[in-house]
Chain A
């Protein structure tokens, strides 16, 4: 095994104190999972870090938080350890380096994505198309050919999925995850945990979003962002079905399913992304990992812009601005797909796996064979 990082050693030091203290056992899944262990391997710590939702409850409740000499700050230590996980399990491996300066990477890729689509459009179509109003069925595809849109989409999204799946596989192996975790019961429990974000509930009354007071703000904002994102995904899916199954070409009417999904999804995403960024700005900075802030802000900005340009596209789709707006929107979306495996977005993958592993562990260290 490679030598351990300082973050791993620091996480172990802190978990050993927590494991003797255990005051925080009611906050989230991390602490009960911690008490199942006595010694912490790197894999254990990685698992616990990814199980942590960063609600900050255990920081504000900690009698050993700075300025106490023990300096316990689980949310920061675990956030940094998660970032190391992301880098370590990135596929292909050299791309892990992108987690080091993530803000710059996300912003640059977004800009590149937009530029690329604009250049491609101008190169492949008559430049005038970009500026003239296009109406009626297939209007979008007169700006950007359908084949190009689909290939870029499938290519970038497919790449993201594949890269994240490879990361997941590597993570699952490295944390020494138990056999039988994919049995129906733990899988269902993990799914409920993911969808409801139970662990962002601080044991039922909310998180320390801003300071030592409790609120559900971050939980609801995250739900808005996540829900909005899924609605936009639904918009794309229904749009594709319309196109291929029914032969209905976009742009669709305002009250059609794809446009409705996309509109509300976009609105929710904007609220979620802007709200989460706002919370990040006004929150007590001590329990927040500063070196990760750049990448997180950049990703929130990218999600916000994707949603905003999507809605603007809807607004201007019958005018001469449509072409440019479509190119920008698609550029951002493709960039998002490409950067996804190397951004905060992978937290969903690893968090999900950690919850799954936890659901399995809770069912007792049953012999692997009988559990599977």
Chain B
């Protein structure tokens, strides 16, 4: 039984990658550490459990990364996806430090794999975890246990007592029982608030009920709210989130990566009113998949339907849920409850607008429409070879952007501009400092690992002095 009357050097709130990196680093530096994870053991690890890679700067080929990926290119990639909504100093620091992220994770027992099928385009920039995020989380927990970090599952940190930016103790619910944990330094690594529907409803109204939460249901944002309510400086647009196109039949929570659909560029996509609403072939899918979640979230009923035919079936990764299938467009419309006449017209208009070209699934080809609004700029092929297929789509939310502000030593900043005396943050709960909008594959784990290490180091240093 853990003695909760003891004062721990460091309390880490959270149980994902950012929390574990902080806890391990602080413990290695000699601090006594308690890690409080809201989820039970079987569901530990937050969104980190669902990840598969980390984006890392490197000067030349490493065991798991090909070629090189240098600061300027990394920074350019980030600048592009965030459209400049970032903090350059913090971002560059994070980018430089990401070079050491894979090595640190390896020192914690994480195994990387040479990348294989379907991911080749990323093997230059991203290092893949063998077995994915759950294997990573398992390795980090084993390391944490071996180091003597006290780990409490089923323990929600509900409130941080603080005075003038100095935190003293945490009010927690430990297996359903109220308790207090005293500490000298606090690290907040409890993720975003994307699983908190009440909170999302504030900005999105009833639409929030139709959002699928891709990752952990424990991302309730309780600490985020608690800190922001006590004079901590906020950063990031509270209304915004990262979202992808998920299968509409996926579970409402925790469906993970396999629920995403890659069929959009090879389909026409209509909403509930049987209207197309965006260029499906605007750019290669890796560059566009992150906008489709939000596009669908803005449609009536937060639902959309990707329609294609038998020619397209092998152009995208196989889906978990079999598509609806019919021998005519009208029959397909009946199956999915859309107006058949309208859908036939949408497909006919589209087919009529398709220009001749040479189809190439992996590159920006010259197959496009002419005189169609919105256009389909690439991969536009007539939908005329039955059977016809439909994948129903819903938005799958990955994370929210609202964050606590931190400085480059991961220290939480107060609204008055002063740094907190003993509070630090790492991971999604502070990623809005760098990601004002958009997302770069593998950057979430880079932020968590880099700031987790800094937070752990700084917390331990503070306690030693």
Q: How far is the CB of A161 from the nearest CB of chain B, in Å?
A: 38
Known pairs A61-B131, A61-B132; A23 contacts B116 (CB<8 A)? no
Measured in the bound complex, the distance between the Cα atoms of B131 and A60 in whole Å is 9
Residues on the A chain within 8 Å of B240, using CB:
none
Q: Tell me, yes or no, whether B320 is within 8 Å of chain A by CB.
A: yes
The 6 closest A-B pairs by CB, nearest first: A61-B131, A23-B132, A26-B113, A61-B135, A21-B258, A212-B138
Chain B: which residue is nearest A17 at the CB level? B320
Binding site for A on B (CB under 8 A): 42-43, 49-50, 52, 111, 113-114, 116-118, 128, 130-135, 138, 142, 251, 254, 256-259, 313-314, 317-320
Counting residue pairs across A and B whose Cβ atoms lie within 8 Å, the total is 84
Whole-angstrom CA separation of A247 from B198 in the bound complex: 89
A24: B residues at CB distance < 8 A: 131-132
Q: Which residues of B contact A26 (CB under 8 A)?
A: 113-114, 116, 128, 130-131
Judging by beta carbons under 8 Å apart, are B134 and A38 in contact? no
Q: Which among A16, A35, A65, A203 is the interface contact of B320 at CB below 8 angstroms? A: A16
Q: A38, B132: Cβ atoms under 8 Å? A: no
B130 touches A60 (CB 8 A): no
CA of A277 to CA of B50, assembled, Å: 34
CB-nearest residue of chain B relative to A38? B318
Report the minimal beta-carbon distance from A1 to chain B, rounded to whole angstroms: 20
B-side contacts of A63, CB under 8 Å:
49-50, 132-134, 256
Contacting residues, chain A, for B50 (C-beta < 8 A): 63
Could you list some 30 contacts between A and B, CB below 8 A?
A: A16-B320, A20-B259, A20-B318, A21-B256, A21-B258, A22-B317, A23-B133, A25-B117, A26-B116, A27-B130, A32-B116, A35-B118, A38-B314, A57-B131, A60-B134, A61-B130, A61-B134, A61-B135, A61-B138, A63-B50, A63-B256, A66-B42, A69-B251, A203-B111, A203-B113, A205-B111, A205-B130, A212-B138, A213-B142, A214-B111
Tell me, rounded to whole Å, the shortest Cβ–Cβ distance linking B42 to chain A.
5
State in angstroms the CA–CA spacing of A20 and B319 once bound together.
6
Partner of B317, one of A20, A61, A67: A20
Place the interface of chain A in its size category.
Answer: 20 to 34
Starting from the known contacts A21-B132, A21-B258, 5 additional A-B residue pairs (CB-CB under 8 Å) come to A20-B258, A22-B117, A61-B134, A63-B134, A65-B134
| Closest beta carbon of chain B to A201's beta carbon, Å | 12
Pick from B111, B118, B132, B258: contact of A17, CB below 8 A: B258
Confirm or deny: A173 has a beta carbon within 8 angstroms of a beta carbon on chain B.
no
Closest beta carbon of chain A to B313's beta carbon, Å: 8
Q: Looking at the complex, which one of A35, A65, A66, A203 makes contact with B117 (CB distance below 8 Å)? A: A35
- Most B CB atoms within 10 A — which of A21, A27, A63, A214? A63
Q: How far is the CA of A204 from the CA of B112 in the complex (A)?
A: 11
Q: Is the CB of B258 within 8 A of A60?
A: no
Residue A19, interface by CB 8 Å: yes
* Chain B contacts for A65, CB-based, 8 A: 134
Do A67 and B42 have beta carbons less than 8 Å apart? yes
Report if A62 contacts B (CB, 8 A): yes
Interface residues of A in 64-110 (CB under 8 A from B): 64-69
What residue of chain A has the Cβ atom nearest to residue B322's Cβ? A16
Q: How far is the CA of A36 from the CA of B138 in the complex (A)?
A: 29
A58 on the B face (CB < 8 A): yes
B313 cross-chain contacts in A, Cβ below 8 A: 38
CB distance from B208 to the nearest CB of A (A): 22
By a CB distance below 8 angstroms, the chain A residues around B43 are 67-68
Tell me how far the C-beta of A53 lies from the nearest C-beta in chain B, rounded to whole angstroms.
15
Residues of chain A lying within 8 A (CB to CB) of residue B142: 212-213
Q: Name B118's closest neighbour in chain A (CB-CB).
A: A22
Given contacts A16-B320, A17-B320, A60-B135, contact A23 B52 (CB under 8 A): yes
A20-B317, A26-B114, A67-B42 in contact; A203/B256 too (CB < 8 A)? Answer: no
B130: chain A residues within 8 A (beta carbon): 26-27, 61, 203, 205
Give the residues from 24 to 55 in chain A that come closer than 8 angstroms, CB to CB, to chain B: 24-27, 32, 35, 38
Chain A residues near B128 (CB, 8 Å)?
Answer: 26
- Are the C-beta atoms of B138 and A60 separated by less than 8 Å? yes
Inter-chain contacts of B318 with A (CB < 8 A): 16, 19-20, 38
The digit string for A160-179, where 1 denotes a CB below 8 A from any CB of B, is 00000000000000000000
Determine how close the nearest CB of chain A comes to the CB of B66; give it in whole angstroms: 16
CB contacts (< 8 Å) of A66 on chain B: these are 42
Cβ of B286 to closest chain A Cβ, rounded Å: 15
Decide if B320 touches A20 in the complex (CB within 8 Å).
yes
Report the minimum CB–CB distance from B212 to chain A (whole Å).
Answer: 13
Report A-chain residues with C-beta under 8 Å of the C-beta of B251. 69
Q: How far is the CA of A204 from the CA of B133 in the complex (A)?
A: 18
Nearest CB of chain A from residue B136's CB, rounded to whole Å:
9
Bound CA–CA A120/B282 (angstroms): 83
A35 to B115, CA, bound (A): 14
Known: A63-B49, A205-B111. A68 touches B254 (CB 8 A): yes
Q: Contacts of B111 on A, CB cut-off 8 Å? A: 203-205, 214
Residues of B with C-beta under 8 A to A69:
251
Q: A136-176 vs B: 1/0 string, CB under 8 Å?
A: 00000000000000000000000000000000000000000
Residues from chain A with Cβ under 8 Å of B254 in the complex: 68
Q: How far is the CA of A32 from the CA of B117 in the complex (A)?
A: 8
Minimal Cβ-Cβ distance residue in A for B111: A205
The residues of A that contact B49 with a CB separation of less than 8 Å are 63
The interface centre, meaning the residue of B134, B135, B256 with most chain A CB atoms within 10 A of its CB, is: B135
Closest to A26 in B: B113
Q: How far is the CA of A57 from the CA of B139 in the complex (A)?
A: 13
B134 in complex: contacting residue of A25, A35, A62, A205, CB < 8 Å: A62
Complex Cα spacing A348 to B132, Å: 30
Closest Cβ–Cβ distance, residue A55 to chain B (whole Å):
11
A65 to B44, CA, bound (A): 12
Bound-complex Cα distance A224 to B377 (A):
61
Please, how many angstroms separate the alpha-carbon atoms of A12 and B259 in the complex? Answer: 17
Task: Tell me the complex Cα distance, A68–B258, Å.
Answer: 14
Contacts of A38 in B (CB 8 A): 313-314, 318
Query: Which residue in chain A gives the minimum CB-CB distance to B131?
Result: A61
Docked complex Cα distance between A21 and B49 (Å): 13
Q: How far is the CA of A100 from the CA of B397 in the complex (A)?
A: 46
For the complex, give the distance between the alpha carbons of A152 and B291 in Å: 73
Residues of B within 8 A of A212 (CB): 135, 138, 142
CB distance from A87 to the nearest CB of B (A): 30
CB-CB nearest in chain A for B113: A26
Give min CB distance, B43 to chain A, whole Å.
7
Closest chain A residue, CB of each to CB of B216: A63
Query: CA of A205 to CA of B139 in the docked complex: distance in angstroms?
Result: 13
Residue ID in chain B nearest A61 by CB atoms = B131
Structural contact, B138 and A25, CB atoms closer than 8 A: no
Contact of A64 among B116, B256, B314 (CB under 8 A): B256
Q: Which B residues are CB-close (under 8 A) to A20?
A: 258-259, 317-320
Residue ID in chain A nearest B139 by CB atoms:
A212
Contact residues in A for B113 (Cβ distance below 8 Å): 25-26, 203
When C-beta atoms are compared, the residue in chain A nearest to B53 turns out to be A23
CB distance from B49 to the nearest CB of A (A): 5
A19 to B111, CA, bound (A): 21
A72 to chain B, nearest CB (A): 10
- Provide the bound-state CA to CA distance between A23 and B136, in Å: 12
- A244: min CB distance to chain B, Å: 52
| Complex alpha-carbon distance, A24 and B118, angstroms | 13
